[in-house]
Amino acid sequence: MKINFVDLKKQYLNIKTEIDSAINEVLENTAFIKGRYVENFEKAFAQKLGVKYCIGVGNGTDALMVALKALGIGRGDEVITAANSFIATSEAITAVGAKVVFVDINPNTYNIDVTKVDEKITSKTKAIIPVHLYGQPADMKQILEVAKRHNLFVVEDTAQAHFAEYNMNGKWYFAGTMGDIATFSFYPGKNLGAYGDAGTIVTNDEEIAKKAKMLANHGRISKYDHEFEGYNSRLDGIQAAILNVKLKYINEWSQKRRKIAKIYSEKLNNIGDIKTPFVPDYAKPVWHLYVVRTKYREELKKFLAEKGIATGIHYPIALPNLKAYSYLGYKKDDFPVSSRYQDEILSLPMFPELEEDEQHRIIEMILNFYKR
């Protein structure tokens, strides 16, 4: 039995008729850039999240860049973010001319360690970018309190947490609806994925929304009337139509991911040195990734591969330890949790279409590994 890490073809085949029809409609109407298909998705996504404004852009990295620029962040500013994330988060900070400042991760949740944020704030700090990593919300109540004390913007990187939920003062909020602005990626492997690059920006602030929309479309208010220089980052009609079809299924897919995660956690608990994910009371994750830890990561990964089971590592090098950030002069000891975990984390197969017998085989093979 060969088990993929993610099986996008299986998902496509389940909704093939709807997807093909949506793509053909865009082709027949030649609505390739902007237009009603993009507007329909922006409206539907905003409504489902419960936010006022949604701006479709080319991808999740562009979304972060445009969001930061819309907040007026640029050269001479500093932006704080987590040490464990994909480089897009920190890359966007540098791309707008600001300096990235890393904070180590919470040893339990793997999200930014809020207790360490204050010590990184300077007079140049303008924003915090919490990453809702692996589909689990960062501790937004604490982050918002820190931001309020220091008059900072909060930009939620929600690329991995579509419709994850966070409980604040007894009320549940979707990830991406609590900060000043939030960004989403619809890279094909995401919980809500396009068939190419795509992303969005969401906010409840009218002025920020207006600025972001103009920035993403060459800084213009009409076809050839440009108030400032912007970017060319637009969600295309085909991707918007595909996302609109998939949006109808996201609740069902999230529930399936939660069921799979529950089985993993129940069956893998107390096996060898495996550390299963910790979920705090304030979080309802959507399990973009199911990440375990083991000191035998490389051996287990190889063993599973030999049995036809694909796994991943997210991420094998913590951001401050990348060559790309050597100029910042960080040492591994500056981020002890991220530096240790980069050698221990292993992502197991996780997608809504994962069959029960496939999951049982994964669990059985992990158990066999520790029985050797």
Residues 55 and 257: beta-carbon distance below 8 Å? no
Do 236 and 263 belong together in one domain?
no
Residue entry with tokens 């994330």: 85
Q: Tell me the two tokens of residue 300.
A: 């287990």
Average pLDDT of span 203-221: 95
Residues whose CB is less than 8 angstroms from the CB of residue 64 and which lie 6 or more positions away in sequence, other chains included: 88, 89, 92, 93, 129, 155, 157, 183
Average pLDDT of span 107-122: 98
Residue 110 has pLDDT above 80, yes or no: yes
Do 165 and 36 belong together in one domain?
yes
Do 179 and 284 belong together in one domain?
no
pLDDT digits (tens, 9 = 90+) for 125-141: 999 999 999 999 999 99
pLDDT digits (tens, 9 = 90+) for 27-60: 999 999 989 999 999 999 999 999 999 999 999 9
Average pLDDT of span 105-121: 98
Distance CA 160, CA 178 (A): 16
Q: Is 182 helix (H, G, I), strand (E, B) or coil?
A: strand
Q: Which domain holds residue 41?
A: 8-247
Do 120 and 259 belong together in one domain?
no
The answer to whether residue 2 is domain-embedded is: no
Give the total number of structural domains in the chain: 2
Do 109 and 18 belong together in one domain?
yes
pLDDT digits (tens, 9 = 90+) for 275-307: 999 999 999 999 999 999 999 999 999 999 999
Q: Burial-class residue 282 by CB neighbours within 10 Å (0-12, 13-18, 19+).
A: middle
Do 226 and 313 belong together in one domain?
no
pLDDT at 78: 98
Do 43 and 190 belong together in one domain?
yes
- What is the reported pTM? 0.97
Distance CA 100, CA 81 (A): 7
Length of the chain in residues, anyone?
372
The answer to whether residue 288 is domain-embedded is: yes
pLDDT digits (tens, 9 = 90+) for 339-360: 999 999 999 999 999 999 999 9
pLDDT digits (tens, 9 = 90+) for 81-94: 999 999 999 999 99
Residue entry with tokens 């979920």: 279
Band the pLDDT of 308: cuts 50, 70, 90: very high
Average pLDDT of span 319-337: 97
pLDDT at 353: 98
**CATH number of the domain where residue 270 is located:** 3.90.1150.10
pLDDT digits (tens, 9 = 90+) for 1-20: 899 999 999 999 999 999 99
Cis before 370? omega within 30: no
The answer to whether residue 348 is domain-embedded is: yes
pLDDT at 224: 83
Q: Could you tell me the CA-to-CA distances from 268 to 196, 205, 225, 265, 303 in Å, in that order?
A: 34, 44, 59, 5, 16
Residues whose CB is less than 8 angstroms from the CB of residue 157 and which lie 6 or more positions away in sequence, other chains included: 64, 81, 85, 89, 129, 130, 131, 132, 182, 183
pLDDT at 242: 98
Single out the residue in 247, 273, 307 at which a domain terminates.
247
Do 300 and 151 belong together in one domain?
no
Residue 66 has pLDDT above 80, yes or no: yes
Do 169 and 290 belong together in one domain?
no
Single out the residue in 197, 222, 247 at which a domain terminates.
247
Single out the residue in 210, 225, 247 at which a domain terminates.
247
Lowest-confidence region among 197-211, 220-234, 246-260, 279-293: 220-234
**CATH number of the domain where residue 159 is located:** 3.40.640.10
Do 284 and 240 belong together in one domain?
no
The answer to whether residue 3 is domain-embedded is: no
Do 35 and 118 belong together in one domain?
yes
Q: Tell me the two tokens of residue 24.
A: 């053909």
pLDDT at 325: 98
Do 281 and 208 belong together in one domain?
no
pLDDT digits (tens, 9 = 90+) for 118-128: 999 999 999 99
Band the pLDDT of 208: cuts 50, 70, 90: very high
Residue 220 has pLDDT above 90, yes or no: no
pLDDT at 195: 98
pLDDT at 103: 98
Residue by residue, DSSP assigns 245-283 as HHHTTHHHHHHHHHHHHHHHHHHHTTSTT-BPPP--TTE
Average pLDDT of span 220-236: 89
Q: Tell me the two tokens of residue 344.
A: 């221990």
Residue 221 has pLDDT above 90, yes or no: no
